[in-house]
Amino acid sequence: MDQSFDDVWAECEDLFAQARQTLAVLKESPPAHVVQASVNALFRTTHTLKGMAGMLGYTSFSRAAHRMEDIFDLMRKGRLRSTDSLIETLEAGILALESGLAGIRRGRPEPDDYLHALRRELGELEALARPTEGGTQDLTSLLDLPPDTLKALSEYERTRVTALLLSGMPIHGVAVCLDFATFDERLRAYSEVLGAQGELLSTLPWDVPEDREGLAFLLMVACPAVDPASLPLLDGELLGVTLLADPARVPASLRNPEPEAPELPQAPAPASGPPPPPAAQAVEVEILRLPAHRVEALEARLMAVGQLRDAASLLMRQAKGLDRERPLALLGDMEEGLLEVQKSLLQMRMIKVDSVFSRIEPLVKGLSRDTGKPVKLTFLGGDLEVERSLLGRLSEPFLHLVRNALDHGLEPPSERVAQGKSEAGSLKISASQRGRNLRFDIRDDGRGFDLARIEARGIELGLLTKGQAHTPERLHRLTLEPGFSTQERASQLSGRGVGMDVVRAEIEALGGEVHLSSEPRRGSLIRLSIPLSRAVVSCLRVRCAGQMFGIPLNSVLRVQAGKEPLHGGDQVDVLGMSTPLESLQTCLGLPDPDGQKAFVVLTQPGAASRSVAIAIGVDEILGRGEVLLRSLPELAHSPGIMGGSLQEEGILWVLDPEAILGLAMNSLMRRVAHA
């Protein structure tokens, strides 16, 4: 793929993310003006995507995006109401566009029809939005505006005025006269305030009073009332606030029996006080795109500066003389500032796992409907942040695994009820960080893997030898082989022998592993473990055997000192509970120390019981701090180490708490066995 299009691909990804977020807002049944603003945003997004596809030369995508744009246009003109089923169809359409474009980027041919699976739903929506016989209504004549101004209204503005008046919403006008030098900034300030109070329909040119100089505008807004005190007024700017159209003037024969927008209170009388506070709206954030190599170059430069700072600090500490406190303090401030910049650069690469979860939810809803299998979907760990490039590569494996879970794993409702299960199947997807790995679990409560059928199919394909015993682990992993499938016929969802091998190939390309397990009639678990490349970790710094180590604070239960030297196998009192102790040196395969007085009590993150806690003996507690962790290839197989961070005194090795707990437990068991 032509690298010159990288910025275009990145912008498309951002546009899809914005579309998913906006659809999520519509799900919450927001006020009418927020609905309208969201629909307008979706219309603009799909319009931009259509243009992007045209730039890339993908005509089928442009046609599909244009059709989605038409649906959003019907919504913003009031011809389609925002309902749960409509939002579900729109989510499926956006997902189809995104998946198709992602496939093209991976070198696959462009689909002829991205929206083929939604033909019926989209056709029904378009039929529902057709105007009734006799044409559409136009109530803009009710606006108290000069004829020339009325003629300046666009078709969309006329449609919205009509829909709002039919739904019982008043339309107000705010006339302002602004200075030539600052009119654009001041007009934007008025628009933001009025847009938060209701739906800003139009900004029209207005006549400047004879005794004034500047530019005059009329801002037309639909809301229950406009409070002049809420406006960002400067002296002499406001010309007046008027009611342009009262919905009470709409003929009774034209009023909708069921308003298209949620009913809102009528404008209060002047004595009733100010209107209620406006609903919060999403703030637009300016997005800057930078080539990844520029960020990497800046990171490398910062690391070089950090090394210079470390060298200067070491020389300062070794130099003789008394006046070192001030320079050392300045070097400390420099270190803190460098770390903050490194964290900010790292944050530029990060994105929440929720962005993938938001793509999966509409897919599951659509598959649930198509297969007739109700599904209870649960997400955990959506706030976990990972590198954007990594998460982008995980999208396709996730979609394959979800399709397989619904097609192969979950049983039909009648079969589940016969087994004593709930009618709705359960699908849980979680994300977490465990030591130096990111872990993603996809768990269902379906029928589990049919190991006997997998074995028979493996023998048939020549992948297994008949008569030999095959472990469950071997049979589970057989499903990851290219072309392997137990389905005799390919369905719309699966059975073509592709999917699981794609998952394995993508995860292994990232240096990770795929683990599968299942129990008959209890369900299955697919775990994706991917090594962490870099992160900023809050650590407890300790010293042991002359070397510095960092222990992630989310695994530290307590730090304590003993009265006498402690040895591996001792029991220490921690908050009134007897806790086993093992030396960190022993855990890392080093000779046992003569004795240690300090220890750190470790537990698994989120563990509810302290019975899993173990005390780890160290020589010295150095304090807390944040370190920029990098995964080092030479440590890939070093037990207990998850990465390293360059410090002024050398490398600080960051420990993997889960691995250290396991090593300590094994060591303590060996001590008991040899006692």
In a domain, 315, yes or no: yes
pTM of the model: 0.55
**Which amino acid is present at 149?**
T
Q: Is 118 exposed, middle or buried (0-12, 13-18, 19+ CB in 10 A)?
A: buried
pLDDT band at 441 (very low <50, low <70, confident <90, very high): very high
The reply to whether 312 and 400 lie within a common domain is: no
- 305 vs 73, more confident: 73
- 484 vs 515, more confident: 515
The reply to whether 377 and 446 lie within a common domain is: yes
Residues 6 or more apart whose Cβ sits within 8 Å of residue 417? 423
State which residues form the domain around 22: 3-128
In a domain, 505, yes or no: yes
The reply to whether 401 and 499 lie within a common domain is: yes
pLDDT at residue 517 tops 50: yes
In a domain, 262, yes or no: no
In a domain, 17, yes or no: yes
In a domain, 261, yes or no: no
The reply to whether 73 and 160 lie within a common domain is: no
Q: What is the rounded average pLDDT of the residues 582-608?
A: 82
Number of domains in the chain: 5
Q: Which backbone phi and psi does 233 adopt, to 5 degrees?
A: -80, 140
The reply to whether 119 and 241 lie within a common domain is: no
Q: What is the pLDDT of residue 320?
A: 63
Q: Which backbone phi and psi does 466 adopt, to 5 degrees?
A: -65, 140
> What are the strands, taking DSSP E only, across 305-396?
350-352, 375-380, 385-387
Last residue of a domain, one of 476, 499, 531: 531
Q: What is the pLDDT of residue 8?
A: 65
Least confident of 110-119, 145-154, 630-639: 630-639
Q: What is the rounded average pLDDT of the residues 462-482?
A: 85
In a domain, 376, yes or no: yes
| Percentage of the residues of the chain whose pLDDT score is greater than 90 | 16
pLDDT in tens, 389-421: 777 778 778 888 888 888 888 999 999 999 999
The reply to whether 71 and 109 lie within a common domain is: yes
pLDDT in tens, 182-232: 888 899 899 989 988 888 888 988 988 888 888 999 999 999 999 888 899
Residue 649: closest CA among 203, 307, 199: 307
What CATH number did the domain enclosing 48 receive?
A: 1.20.120.160
Least confident of 270-279, 561-570, 590-599: 270-279
- 5 vs 584, more confident: 584
Residues 6 or more apart whose Cβ sits within 8 Å of residue 446? 405, 408, 409, 410, 411, 425, 523, 524
pLDDT band at 146 (very low <50, low <70, confident <90, very high): confident
In a domain, 260, yes or no: no
In a domain, 272, yes or no: no
The reply to whether 376 and 518 lie within a common domain is: yes
The reply to whether 121 and 34 lie within a common domain is: yes
How far is residue 624's CA from residue 646's CA, in Å, rounded to a whole number? 16
The reply to whether 363 and 499 lie within a common domain is: yes
Last residue of a domain, one of 252, 279, 312: 252
Q: What is the rounded average pLDDT of the residues 657-672?
A: 89
pLDDT in tens, 249-297: 877 656 654 444 333 334 344 444 444 444 444 444 445 555 666 667 7
The reply to whether 651 and 627 lie within a common domain is: yes
pLDDT band at 4 (very low <50, low <70, confident <90, very high): very low
DSSP string, 622-635: EEEEEEEEE--GGG
DSSP string, 497-531: S-SHHHHHHHHHHTT-EEEEEEETTTEEEEEEEEE
pLDDT at residue 524 tops 90: yes
What CATH number did the domain enclosing 545 receive?
A: 2.30.30.40
The reply to whether 363 and 298 lie within a common domain is: no
The reply to whether 102 and 161 lie within a common domain is: no
